[in-house]
Homo-oligomer: A and B are copies of this chain.
């Protein structure tokens, strides 16, 4: 059926209209993948939906069909959709999506339900990070320990909040590496997302920063001294502190409104 014959409200029509392709710094196919991918994760094309065909995308974005196809292939690789001849590209059920992929996570962070997303991230960290710290305490090599310590020091001496966050991410990734379990490495994208989203909540008050630094140093020390159980608890304390910071920021915001 031709879509133009379907009676659509003007508002719905506006929502369906394809936004112009953001001609960013990257290549065309990745821009296409991003443009379509974002609309999928935001729920504009719910699972089971058949996407517009390749020719339509090519026309809307003013790019060649090849570029569209390469973009679609990227989304297929991330299990956002599957393509079949004659039927088209169908959005996969959410539980098949590779949510732990860096791109999807980034797109997802722009989706409407940010609150719930941040809670899921935080919950995920509670599961993984304490155990990762315990493993790191048991199995870290000297070089890996050095990376952890260096990142911890960089946090203390970082001149800006941005650089502090960068060192913070580096600290936690170094712990994952020090577990010597390579399957844990991909979970770094979670930490990256979480910290960069938490970044906007972080207070600039010297007291808070100093306390957070203390918590990080406790983690560093317990890993260095090879005390798994103590490292586990230290990480839990740090995460609880993050929760607390978020909660305070949240209540401040609601008081304002």
Contacts and interface: CB of A to CB of B under 8 A. Distances in A.
Interface of A: 29, 33, 66, 69-70, 73-79, 94-95, 97-103, 120-121, 123-124, 126-128, 131-132, 135, 177, 181-188, 190
Contact of A128 (B120, B127, B186): B127
A122 to B, nearest CB: 10
19 contacts: A29-B73, A70-B70, A70-B73, A73-B73, A73-B74, A73-B77, A74-B76, A74-B77, A77-B101, A97-B186, A98-B100, A100-B186, A120-B181, A120-B182, A120-B183, A124-B184, A127-B131, A127-B132, A183-B190
A57 to B, nearest CB: 15
Nearest to A132: B127
A121 B183 CA distance: 7
A95 B185 contact: yes
Contacts of A126: 131
Contacts of A184: 124, 127
Contacts of A95: 177, 182, 185, 188
Contact of A99 (B73, B128, B131, B186): B186
Given A75-B77, A100-B100, 15 more contacts: A73-B73, A77-B101, A77-B103, A94-B182, A95-B177, A95-B188, A99-B182, A99-B186, A120-B181, A123-B183, A124-B183, A127-B127, A127-B131, A128-B128, A183-B190
